[in-house]
């Protein structure tokens, strides 16, 4: 029986979201096939075995945990890591680099792919060379650079390296711009300022197993807020529509762009790729690539694949088996 570590938590603003993903995986992983070892990283970067009820995982550091003194020695004796830590130290490639250094097998894309996809500027710079359209933008390395760029409102301000729409806001004037740039810099050393485009938000799931690429049916997010912000994702009701009502030409164009993105950035295992579709111009824009997307049983990533008849439990098994062959 193969030993599988499900790794969750982390020193990230998305710590709690990672716990939700881990709970779903731990409930659905095939325990007749794998010996499952839950390991959590707290917000101080301490690693622990979690030995309590899955239902108590929300407050996991208050339950039955054992600190791991030599994590590399331990991980070197397991078969694969299913890393489901969202945000920095994971989606930025740090953990993947650690695993690669010590020849530890893991689910998902490599260090370089994660690092590029997590940085919204680098994603744009690379993919624009392959004719993947992205929203017009400026990048700030410090707030003083605001004085040398021309801005036409409204704009959307984003941390360059962050997820779950944390730190993202729309500014309609200079006062709001200054306020929201300050907020974005709390989460990243670089800030992205994009033209705000009122458009439909479309998403597709990627399952790239043994170099056999499955691109899911295109789904759409409906929400009441100005854009798909943190509250729309996790607090207020948003609606997942699968399939989207976009016409076949637009759907096929998105899937062709996805093929290019996956090839250029060497995306393996899982990913969710998000787009904007501006109906009045028929333009499609890449928003971002999520190499470790939300993985609860109600998250968009598994929902898209389940629409294509790939069940949640099967997704987990496919990803683990793919990682074991690396």
Whether 4 contacts 320, CB under 8 Å: yes
Q: Let me know whether 23 and 154 are in one domain.
A: no
Residue 220 lies in a domain: yes
Q: Please check the confidence at residue 60 and state whether its pLDDT lies above 60.
A: yes
pLDDT at 237: 60
Residue 122 lies in a domain: yes
Q: Let me know whether 123 and 142 are in one domain.
A: no
Q: Let me know whether 127 and 263 are in one domain.
A: yes
Q: Please check the confidence at residue 234 and state whether its pLDDT lies above 80.
A: no
Q: Let me know whether 80 and 154 are in one domain.
A: no
pLDDT at 298: 85
Q: Please check the confidence at residue 156 and state whether its pLDDT lies above 70.
A: yes
User: DSSP of 121-178, one letter per residue?
Assistant: HHHHHHHHTTT--B--EEEESSGGGGGGS---SSEEEEESS--TTTT-EEESSHHHHH
How do residues 35-59 score in pLDDT, each as one tens digit?
Answer: 999 999 999 999 999 999 999 999 9
Q: Let me know whether 303 and 208 are in one domain.
A: yes
**Mean pLDDT of the region 8-28:** 94
Residue 14 lies in a domain: yes
Q: Let me know whether 187 and 303 are in one domain.
A: no
Q: What is the dihedral of CA 18, 80, 305, 199, to 10 degrees?
A: 50
Q: What is the pTM of this model?
A: 0.92
Q: Let me know whether 191 and 228 are in one domain.
A: no
SS3 per-residue string spanning 234-245: HCCCCEEECCCC
Q: Please check the confidence at residue 232 and state whether its pLDDT lies above 50.
A: no
Q: Let me know whether 35 and 162 are in one domain.
A: no
Measured distance CA(14)–CA(12) in Å, rounded: 5
Residue 318 lies in a domain: no
Residue 326 lies in a domain: no
pLDDT at 226: 55
Average pLDDT, the chain: 93
H/E stretch holding 250? helix 248-265
Q: Let me know whether 48 and 102 are in one domain.
A: yes
Residue 52 lies in a domain: yes
Q: What percent of the chain has pLDDT over 70?
A: 94
Q: Let me know whether 182 and 268 are in one domain.
A: no
Comparing CA positions, the residue from 27, 39, 25 lying closest to residue 78 is 39
Q: Let me know whether 124 and 101 are in one domain.
A: no
Angle at 307 between CA 302 and CA 308, to 5 degrees: 100
Q: What is the CATH number of the domain that holds 31?
A: 3.40.50.20
Banded pLDDT at 208 (limits 50, 70, 90): very high
Q: Let me know whether 205 and 247 are in one domain.
A: yes
Q: Is 108 left (phi over 0), alpha (psi -120 to 50) or beta?
A: left
Phi, psi (degrees; rounded to nearest 5) at 228: -80, 80
Residue 325 lies in a domain: no
SS3 304: helix
Residue 319 lies in a domain: no
Domain count, the chain: 3
Q: Please check the confidence at residue 99 and state whether its pLDDT lies above 60.
A: yes
How do residues 250-283 score in pLDDT, each as one tens digit?
Answer: 999 999 999 999 999 999 999 999 999 999 999 9
CA 19 to chain centre: 14
Among 13-22, 121-130, 229-238, the range of highest mean pLDDT: 121-130
How do residues 169-194 score in pLDDT, each as one tens digit?
Answer: 999 999 999 999 999 999 999 999 99
Q: What is the CATH number of the domain that holds 141?
A: 3.30.1490.20
Banded pLDDT at 162 (limits 50, 70, 90): confident
Q: What is the CATH number of the domain that holds 297?
A: 3.30.470.20
Q: Which residues span the domain enclosing 217?
A: 117-133+198-311
Q: Is 159 left (phi over 0), alpha (psi -120 to 50) or beta?
A: beta
Banded pLDDT at 297 (limits 50, 70, 90): confident
């Amino acid at each position: 029986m193969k030993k599988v570590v499900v790794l969750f938590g982390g020193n990230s603003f998305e710590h709690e979201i990672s716990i939700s993903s881990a709970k779903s995986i731990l409930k659905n992983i095939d325990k007749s096939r794998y010996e499952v070892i839950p390991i959590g990283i707290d917000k101080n970067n301490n690693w622990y075995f979690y030995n309590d009820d899955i239902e108590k995982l929300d407050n996991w550091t208050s339950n039955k945990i054992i600190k791991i003194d030599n994590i590399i020695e331990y991980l070197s004796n397991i078969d694969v890591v299913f890393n489901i830590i969202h945000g920095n130290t994971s989606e930025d490639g740090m953990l993947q680099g650690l695993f690669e250094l010590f020849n530890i097998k893991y689910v998902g894309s490599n260090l370089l792919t994660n690092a590029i996809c997590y940085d919204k500027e680098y994603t744009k710079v690379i993919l624009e060379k392959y004719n993947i359209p992205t929203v017009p933008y400026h990048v700030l390395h410090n707030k003083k650079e605001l004085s040398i760029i021309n801005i036409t409102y409204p704009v959307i301000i984003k941390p360059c390296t962050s997820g779950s729409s944390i730190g993202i806001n729309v500014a309609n004037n200079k006062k709001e711009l200054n306020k929201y740039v300050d907020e974005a810099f709390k989460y990243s050393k670089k800030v992205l300022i994009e033209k705000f485009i009122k458009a439909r938000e479309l998403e597709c799931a990627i399952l790239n197993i043994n170099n056999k690429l499955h691109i899911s049916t295109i789904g759409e997010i409906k929400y009441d807020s100005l854009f798909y912000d943190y509250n729309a994702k996790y607090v207020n009701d948003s609606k997942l529509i699968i399939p989207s009502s976009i016409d076949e030409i637009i759907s096929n164009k998105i899937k062709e762009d996805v093929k290019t993105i996956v090839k250029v950035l060497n995306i393996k295992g899982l990913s969710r790729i998000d787009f904007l579709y501006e109906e009045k111009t028929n333009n499609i824009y890449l928003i971002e690539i999520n190499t470790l997307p939300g993985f609860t049983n109600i998250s968009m990533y598994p929902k898209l694949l389940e629409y294509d008849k790939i069940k949640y439990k099967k997704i987990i098994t496919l990803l683990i088996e793919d990682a074991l062959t690396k």
